[in-house]
Structure 1
Amino acid sequence: MGVKGLQYFMETCCADTCVPVDLKQMAVDHARAHPDGPATLVVDGMACLRYWYRCEAWVHGGQWQEYMHILQEFVDEFTAAGIRLVFFFDGTVEDQKRAEWVKRRLRVSQDIGRIFHHVKTHGQQPDGGDLFCLPSGLATFSRFALKSLGQETRCSVREGDYEISDYALSRDCMGILGQDSDFVIYDAVPYLSVSELNLKDMTTVLFSRERLCQVLKLRVTDLPLLACLLGNDVVSEQRTQRLRNGALASFRKKHRQVQGDKVYAVADFINVHHPSSGAAFGLSSLSLVEEEKEALEKGIRVYLLPGQTSPWLESSRPVHKPVCLMGKYAPAEILQAALEKHTRAEGFLVYNVLYDGVVECSNTLEDEDEVELPPQAILYLPVRERIYGLLLPVVPDCSGQTVSVKEWFVFPGNPLKEPTRVTPKPLNSLKPDLMALWFGTEPEVKAVQTSTLLDVFDLHEFNAELKRFDSPSIAVICLVTYIAVQARQLSLEDVDAYLSQAVCVRLKSFREMQQLRTSVVDPRAVQLGSLFVRGLTYLIAANTACGFPFPMGELMPWKTFDGLLFHSKYLQAHSGCPKEELLEGSSSGMALFTSVRELVLDACRRRGVSVHSRPRRLQHRDARPVEADDLHQERGHQLHHSTQQEPRQQPGASAHHQHGYRPRHPKRGRYHLAPRWPQSQN
C-alpha cells in the first residue's frame, strides 16, 4: 500500500526519524539477542524490483542474464554479512485495493504512450526519469530467479505488506527491507529502506516508528488511524478529505504554517479526540458520518496483526482470511497442492484461477498506434482459455450456469472499469485428467503432461519432432509459432530475429552480453520483445497447470531471451544480413537455428499461415545494430506487404478476430471487447 505523503514527511520534515544503520552491526546485535539462528531480513520483493533492475537497456524486453548477475551479487553481499534473506512477492490483488491498482495501471499506460512517442521521435529509449517501465513479467521471473539462487521465496495469498509484517514479527526477524511507508504503520520489526541501501558498505536508513510517534505525540496504536486519515490504498484521500480539511483548519488557527503541516494537523486531531477512560469509545469520538466510519474501521483492521488491538475499534476482530470461491470446481487435493505451490513461489497463475477465479496482468510495453500486432492480452487469450479449461469445468452446470474467470488485463483501449469474463475452453485434441497430471506416478505421465502443454499452444501433433530439442528450444518454438499463427503479421525477418537471438543467447558469455549495443530503437521491435517475454509467463502458467512436464528453470528468459540481443538481431534481419552473419559464424548455432526454423515454418504452414519475407524500412536512417566492434550497414530494403489471408474461426485463427476483439479505431489500433462473453456471476 503506502501512506500518502508520510515517507516524504519523515525524510523532509523530521529527519530525526530517518536513522542511518549498519546492517552488519544490526545482524551482530540481533544474533546476540536471538542466538538460536541467523539474523533474518524479510525482503519486499515488489519494492526491490526497481533497485535490482539496473540494466542500462530496459525498453527492449529485459537484459535477463545481467539481471541474474545483479541478483546473485545482492544475495552474496547479505550472505557474506551473515544475514539470511526471505523474499516475499505479491500473489494477489485484494478487492479493497482494486481501485488503486486500476488508477496506477492507467497512469502507467499514459507513461507508456509517452515512451513510444519518444522512441519514434528520437530512435532511442528515454534516458530515465519519469519515463521508465520495468520489463514485462519482472516480478514473476524474479521469484523463480531467487529460488534458483537458493533463496527462500514466498508468494502472498492476501495483502503482501500484511504477510511480510506478520512473518517478520512472528519470527523475530531483524527487519523488513522495502520501500513502503505502510511498514512504519504496522507494529512489527524495524523498516529499512532499499532505496538507501548501499551494498558496498552494507548501510541503509531505518524509518523509526518510535521516533515518529515522539515527534507527533502519538501512540504506536494510533498510527493505523493516522495512515487512514492521510489516505492509503484502502482508504482514499477523497474519503477522508472532510476530516483532514477540518483538522488542518483547526491546526492553522493555533500554529503558524509549517512544512508538513497536513501530517502535524492530523496527528493533533487524533490527540484531541483520543478516547480516554470513561469517554466515548473509539471512532465514535470523531463525529463521523457512517461512510467515513466504515472506511476507517476497515482501514485500521488492515494494519492489525494477529493478537493486536486498536483503541479506535470497539472490537479488534481480524481481517477476513482469503475465501476459496472456486473450491467447488476442484478436488481438495488439487486446491491444497495449488496453495502450497503458490505460497512457495513454485507455480504461476493456477492458484488465482482455482481460489477466487480472478487474474490480473499489469502493463506491457505496447504501442497503441500499432495496427499489425494485437495486444498481448488478446493474442494469448486462447492459451489462457485452455489453461482455464484444464482447471475448471468447460460445460454449464446443472442449473445452466457457466463458470468464468475474471480478468483484469491492461492493454490499449481497455478502461479497466470492470473485469472481462473469460470462459474456459477445452483443449483441441486431449481430455486429460487433472488429478493424473498432477499426482500420477506411472512412467507415461510425463509424456501426457508434455502433450497437454503442447496442446495448450496448439502444437499437439509435433510431440515427436520436439523430442530432439532441449526445454529452452521447445519454449522458443512454442512461442514463436504461436505468435506467428495468432498475429498473422510476422515476417520471415521477425521469425529469424526471434530464433537467432534464442540461439545466440546460449552462445554468449555474460561479458559479451554486456557489450551489446544498438544504434537505434525500433518501436515495433520493442513490442515484439515484450510480446515474447509475456508469452513466457503464460508458458510457465501452462507448465504449472500441466503438472510441470518441464523444469521451470529451463523456461526462464535468461535461458531463452535477451531484449538487447533480440533488438540487434531484428535490425540485422530487416537490413538483409546473411544468415551466417545473423548466427555470428557459429556452425553449431546455424544448425540449431535451421532445424528450429524449419519446424516453426512447417507448423505455421499446417495452420494456413505462410510467413513471407517482408523486410521493413527501419524508421531511422541510422538504424543498424552495433555488436562490440562489428557495425552492419543498413541495406535499405523497401517495405512490401504480402497478401493477407482471412482468419479462420478455429484453433490457429487470429485471436483478436476469433474472440470478439476488433480495432476500435483503424488508425490508432486500439482494441475493445465485442459483447460475446457470458455474464454468469460465478
Structure 2
Amino acid sequence: MDRQMILFQSPVMGVRGLQGFVGSTCPHICTVVNFRELAEHHRSRYPGCTPTVVVDAMCCLRYWYTPESWVCGGQWREYFSALRDFVDSFASVGIKLVFFFDGMVEQGKRNEWVKRRLKNNREISRIFHYIRSHREQPGRNMFFIPSGLAIFTRFALKTLGQETLCSLKEADYEVASYGLQYNCLGILGEDTDYLIYDTCPYFSISELCLESLETIMLCREKLCESLGLRVADLPLLACLLGNDIIPEGMFESFRFKCLSSYTSVKENFDKKGNIILAVSDHISKVLHLHQGEKKLEEMLPLGPNRALFYKGVASYLLPGQSSPWFFQKPKSLIMLDKQVISMSSDPESKQEVPICTEPESKQGVPMCTEPESKQGVPMCTEPESKQEVPMCTVPESKQEVPMCTVPESKQEVPMCVEPEPKQEVPMCAEPESKQVPMSKEPESKQEVPTCAHPEIKQQLPVETDSDFNLEVPMYAHPKIKEDNPMDMDSEIKQQVTLVSDPEILKVARMHHVQAESYLVYSIVSSGEIECSNTLEDELDQALPSQAFVYRPVRQRVYTLLLGSCRDDISASLAVKEWFVYPGNPLRHPDLVRPLPMIIPGGTPSLKSLWLNQEPAAQARRLDALLACFNLSSSRDELLAVESPLRALCCLLIYLFVQVDTLCLEDLHAFVAQALCLQGKSTAQLVDLQLEYISPRAVQLGSLLVRGLTTLALVNSACGFPWKTSEFMPWNLFDGKLFHLKYLQSEKGYSVEALLEQNRSWLTRFHNLKAVVCKACMKENRRIVGRGHWSSHHTGRWGRQGSSSHRTSSACGHSGQGQPWRDQGPGSRTHDHDQWRRY
C-alpha cells in the first residue's frame, strides 16, 4: 500500500480525478511486476523479438532528476550519470527503450497548457519567497525541474545511443500508437490517459525501483471490471469526466445528475471517486441500453459542444481502431478550429493496422497475456470476456463496409479501411510467424530482428549529410513515408505553413522527429513556438526575463528560416511566441517579427545551409550562427577558443552586451566555474557545499542554461555548424559549482582563489576574459565591477549608438522599479527596439 500511496501523490496528467480514484477505490488494478520476468516471458512467447518498452519521457523527468541540488540551475553531470544508470539497468535484462518527447502543443490543448504554466508561475514565486526568507534551497516538496531539462534530456539519451523521438503532436498519442503497433512490452510513464488508450500495458515510472526493476502495472481491463464498462467505453468516460481536451466544467451538470441518481454512493469515498462511479454506472446501465438505437448526441447533452466532444473521444482512437459510440459514417469528418478530425482513425496516420479480430482484443496485436498461460506473471486481460463491440456501424449509410471474420465466433464485423491502403506492417505477433531479415541496430551494432519497428530502419539518404555533425544515424519515424516525398508534402500542406518548399519541410520534419533539432519545425510549419517556465524571480526587476534577453536571437533565426517569405506581405509576417515570463497572463501569444541580420556574403538560403555538402558550406553555417548572436565581428577570436568553451564565450558576450546589470564579478563566476568543472569528477560535484543560496545567482544560472537551449535552436536552424557536445550543459555548466563561484566572487575572492590556485587554469581564464571583454568593447559595453557602477545607470528607455542595443538598470539590485515585468504580454506585434534599454 505504501508503494501505491507514493504513486498517487505524484503529479500526473490525463483524466480528471482518475489517478486518485484508482488509489482510493480500486487499488486492486495495480499489480507489482518485475521487468526482468516480463522480458523473459516476452522472449519465450516471441522468439527473436527484442522486448521493448516505450517511454513517455516528459512524464519521467522528475523521476530521472535525482541530484539533491535543483534550484541553482541544474546538476548536469550528475543528471547525465543518472540517465546512464537508468538505460544500463534495462539493457542489463535485454530490454530496449524507445523514448518519446512532446514535439508541440496541439491547439485543442493550449488552454490546458496555459493553465499549467500559470500554476507553475505561482509555484516559482513561492520558491523565490522561500529562498529570500531562508537563504537555502526549499525541500523536495517544492521541487521544480531545472530549466531546459527536457531538451537536454533528448540530447543526453541520443548521446547514450538510445532511440529518441519527438512527437508531431502531443506525445501520449504517439506513445500509445507505437506501443500497440510494435507489440511493445509496455508503456512507462505517469499519465492516466494510458489507462484509456486501448494499447499495450501501462507501467508507473514513479513506482519504479531501478535496483530490482520492479514497478506497478495499472490494468485497464481490471479498471473496466470495477466500473462495469468495456475497454471501448473508456474514451467516452474520460471525456465525460474531463481531460486535456474537454474542459472539466463542460459536463459538470451532467455529472451532478448522474451522482444524484446514483444509488450506491459510498460515504468513505471522496466526491471525485463517487462521480466516477456514478458516470460509469450511467454509461453501463443507461447509455448501453439505447446503444445502437439512438445517436450519442441524443443520449448526452452535447449541445454546441458536440464537435469538441467527438474530437475528444476520437483522440483516444489509435490507427485502425474505431468507437462503438460513433454512428456517423466511418469517414465522416468534423471541422473544429479549422482542423480535420477523422472519426474512425488517427487523422494523420495513413498506416493500416490489421484489425480482423474481436474489437476488445487489441486489433490482432498480442498483448500482455495469453488466456491459457499458467505462468506466474501478472496479466491484465479478461480471457473469459467474449463481449462484442460493434465497429464502424453505419446504420443510415448504404455504403458497403468490408467485413472480416472473428475466428472464434465466426461472426463478421466491419473493418475500417483507409481509402488508399498502404502495405501492411509486419507484426511480431506469434512465435511461429515467418522469419524476418536481420538488420543492424545503430546503437549496439548487433544483429537483431527488425520485427520490433521495421519501418524505422529505412535510412533517408538526404538527411545523412555529414555536414550536419549528427552524432547518431538518422532514421525515419513510422509516420514518415519514404516511398513518395510528395505524400509528406501534401500532408504538411493540409495546414498553413510559412515555408512552402516541400524539401525543406521534409528535412525540418525529419530532424524534429528524430529529436535532433529544437523549435525549427514548429517555426517553418506553423509559425508558432512555446517555452515553458523558467526559475525567474518576479520581484527582481534588475534582471530581465530570458524570454526578452534571447528574443533578438530568435528574431534573427526567424529571418533565416522564413527568408523565402519576404514578399509584399512581409510587413505582416510574425511568429507567435507562447513564452512564459513574469507578468504574462498568456491570454494571447506575443507576435514577434523577424529582425534583419547581417551575414558576410548575404543571408544564405536554407537549402544551402541544410543540404549543401561542399566544404565551403560549413563556414557559411558558422557565419550564420554567429550572425544570429550579432557576433560576426568577433569570429576570429571565438574560433581561437577551444571547444566547448567557445560556445560559453559566445553566450557570455551576447549576455553581457544585452544586459548592463551584469558585472565583472558575474563574468568571473561564469568563467571560473566552467574551467573548474573540467577538473572535477561527478563525486566531487555532489560533495560541494554552499554557505547560502542567492536568488540572483539562481536566476543567472537559469539565464545561462536558457542561453544553451537558444544555442540549440540556432545551431539546428543554421544546419548544425557545431556538434551538440559543444554546448551540452554537462560539459559547460554545473549549477552548484556556479553558485559557489558566484558567492566567492561577490565576496571579493581573487581570481587565483576562484580557480582554486590552479596555475594552468589561470592563463586560460585571462584569455577567455579577454575575448569576452574585447567583443563587448566593440559594442561600447565596458564590463566593470559592481563597485564601479555610477549614477548614469538610470534604467531609462532608449537606444545605444551601436548595432546591438542592450538593457540595464540601476545597480543590479531587485526592487529598483525597472519595468521589465510590464512589457506588454498579449497579442501586440513586437519589433526588437522596444525590448532594449540602457
TM over 0.5: yes
On the 8 A contact 2:148/2:705 being kept in 1, the answer is yes
Could you tell me how far apart the structure 1 residues matched to 2:654 and 2:542 are? 15
- Pair 1:389 & 2:559 matched: yes
SS of the counterpart of 1:205?
A: strand
> Partners of 1:668 and 1:188 in 2: how far apart?
51
Equivalent residue, structure 2, for 1:446: 618
Greater mean deviation of Cα atoms: 313-322 or 208-217: 313-322
Residues 1:161 and 2:172 aligned together? yes
Helix, strand or coil: the match of 2:671? helix
Partner of residue 265, structure 1: 278
Deviation at 1:402, TM superposition (A): 2.8
- Shift of the 220–502 alpha-carbon distance from structure 1 to 2, 3 Å rule, reads same
Deviations 1:257-292 (A, max 9, x none): 451211110100111233457743441342414234
Question: What TM-score results when the alignment is normalised by the length of structure 1?
Answer: 0.91
What is residue 317 of structure 1 aligned with on the other side? 344
Instruction: Tell me what 1:28 maps to.
Output: 40
User: How many angstroms apart in 2 are the aligned matches of 1:678 and 1:477?
Assistant: 28
Q: How does 1:578-657 map to 2 (within 5 A)?
A: 578-614=750-786, 641=790, 643-644=792-793, 647-648=799-800, 651-654=803-806
Alignment equivalent of 1:365, drawn from 531, 535, 542: 535
Q: Deviations over 1:527-555 (max 9, x none)?
A: 00000000000101100011101101221
1:234 to 236, 239, 245: 245
**Is the 1:275–1:312 contact (alpha carbons within 8 Å) kept by the matching residues of 2?**
no
Range with bigger deviation, 71-80 or 236-245: 236-245
Paired position in structure 2 for 1:97: 109
Could you tell me which residue of structure 1 aligns to residue 75 of structure 2? 63
Shift of 1:470: 2.5
SS of residue in 2 equivalent to 1:611: coil
- Structure-2 residue corresponding to 1:11: 23
1:622 matched residue in structure 2: none
Counting aligned pairs with the same residue, the percent is 43
> Partners in 2 of 1:291 and 1:254 — Cα distance?
32
1:522 pairs, out of 676, 694, 702, with 694
Q: Write out per-residue CA displacement over residues 80-130 of structure 1, whole angstroms, 9 at most, x where no aligned residue.
A: 01111000000100001000100010011011111111101110011121x
Distance 1:578 1:614 in 2: 15
Residue identity opposite 1:52 in structure 2: W
Structure 2 Cα separation of the partners of residues 640 and 465 of structure 1 = 28
Separation of aligned partners in 2, 1:650 and 1:357: 30
Residue aligning to 2:599? 429
Contact 2:590 2:830 in 1 (8 A): no
Where do residues 188-587 of structure 1 align in structure 2 (5 Å cutoff)?
A: 188-251=199-262, 253=263, 255-259=265-269, 260-275=273-288, 279-315=292-328, 316-321=343-348, 323-324=492-493, 325=495, 327=497, 329-393=499-563, 396-399=566-569, 402-430=572-600, 431-587=603-759
Gap change, CA 1:656 and 1:442, over 3 Å in 2? farther
Counterpart of 1:115, as a letter, is I
* Contact map agreement 1:664 1:671 (CA 8 A) in 2: no
Distance 2:781 2:587 in 1: 36
CA distance in 2 between partners of 1:282 and 1:36 (Å): 46
For the residue of structure 2 that corresponds to 1:56, the secondary structure is coil
Shift of 1:644: 2.6
State whether residues 471 and 550 of structure 1, in contact with CA within 8 Å, keep that contact through their aligned partners in structure 2. no
User: Are the aligned partners of 2:527 and 2:575 in contact in 1 as well (CA < 8 Å)?
Assistant: yes
State the AA in 2 paired with 1:233.
Answer: D
The structure whose Rg is larger is: 2
Question: In structure 1, what residue type is equivalent to 2:829?
Answer: W
Q: Report which stretch shifted further, 462-471 or 371-380.
A: 462-471
User: Displacement, 1:379?
Assistant: 0.7
Using the alignment, how far apart are the partners of 2:243 and 2:322 within structure 1? 20
**Which secondary structure does the structure 1 equivalent of 2:283 belong to?**
helix
Q: Is the 8 A contact 2:498 2:565 kept in 1?
A: no
Q: Deviations over 1:303-354 (max 9, x none)?
A: 0001111111124333533855454524222111111111011111101101
1:493–1:573 contact (8 Å) kept in structure 2:
yes
Task: Report what 1:170 is aligned to.
Answer: 181
Give the partner amino acid of 1:560: L
Partner amino acid, structure 1, of 2:508: A
Aligned to 2:203, the other structure's residue is in SS state strand
Deviation at 1:400, TM superposition (A): 6.1
Letter of the structure 2 residue corresponding to residue 434 of structure 1: L
Report the CA distance between 1:396 and its aligned residue: 4.9
Q: 1:436 to 1:394 in 2, by over 3 A?
A: closer
Shift of 1:428: 2.6
Letter in 2 for 1:318: S
Q: Write out per-residue CA displacement over residues 51-105 of structure 1, whole angstroms, 9 at most, x where no aligned residue.
A: 0011111110000000000000000100001111000000100001000100010
Please say if residues 221 and 310 of structure 1, whose CA atoms lie closer than 8 Å, have aligned partners that are also in contact.
yes
Aligned counterpart, 1:628: none
User: Residue 93 of structure 2 aligns with which residue?
Assistant: 81
Structure 2 alignment gaps of length 5 or more = 1-12, 329-342, 349-490, 832-838
Over 3 Å counting, the alpha-carbon distance change for 1:246 and 1:38 in structure 2 is same
Q: Is the 8 A contact 1:361 1:408 kept in 2?
A: yes
Q: Which residue of 2 aligns with 1:621?
A: none
Alpha-carbon spacing, 1:490–1:34, altered in 2? closer, same or farther (3 Å): same
Q: Is the 8 A contact 1:370 1:669 kept in 2?
A: no
> Partners in 1 of 2:628 and 2:539 — Cα distance?
30
1:560: how far off? 0.7
Partner of 2:409: none
Tell me the SS of whatever aligns to 2:323: coil
1:643 positional shift: 3.7
Q: Deviations over 1:375-414 (max 9, x none)?
A: 0000100000001111003875335653211100000111
Q: Which runs of 5+ in 1 are unaligned?
A: 616-638, 658-662
- 1:103-114 equivalences in 2 (<5 Å): 103-114=115-126
Normalised TM-score (structure 2): 0.75
CA contact (8 A) 1:395 1:402 kept: no
8 Å contact kept, 1:326–1:354: no
Superposed displacement of residue 166, structure 1? 0.3
The CA deviation at 1:483 is 0.9
More moved, 152-161 vs 457-466? 457-466
Task: Report the equivalent of 1:2.
Answer: 14
273-282 or 260-269, larger mean C-alpha shift = 273-282
The letter for the 2-side match of 1:590 is L
Call closer, same or farther: CA 1:72–1:298 in 2, change over 3 Å.
same
Judge conservation of contact 2:591–2:830 (CA < 8 Å) in 1.
yes
CA distance in 1: counterparts of 2:264 and 2:22, whole angstroms: 22
Report the equivalent of 2:411. Answer: none
Cα gap change, 1:262 to 1:664, in 2 (>3 Å): farther
CA displacement at 1:665 relative to structure 2: 9.5
Deviations 1:538-578 (A, max 9, x none): 10110001110110122110011010000000001111111
Amino acid at match of 1:469: V
Q: Could you tell me which amino acid in structure 1 is paired with residue 167 of structure 2?
A: S
Asked if structure 1 preserves the Cα contact closer than 8 Å seen for 2:645 and 2:732, the reply is yes
CA-to-partner distance for each residue in 1:191-228, whole Å, 9 max, x for gaps? 00000000111100000000000010100000001111
Give, in angstroms, the shift of residue 441 of structure 1.
1.6
Amino acid paired to 1:651: S
Over aligned residue pairs, what C-alpha RMSD do you find?
Answer: 2.2
Q: What is the aligned length?
A: 649
Alignment partners' CA distance in 1, 2:346 and 2:213: 36
Alpha-carbon distance in 2 for matches of 1:59, 1:529: 9
Tell me if structure 2 keeps the 8 A contact 1:143–1:153. Answer: yes
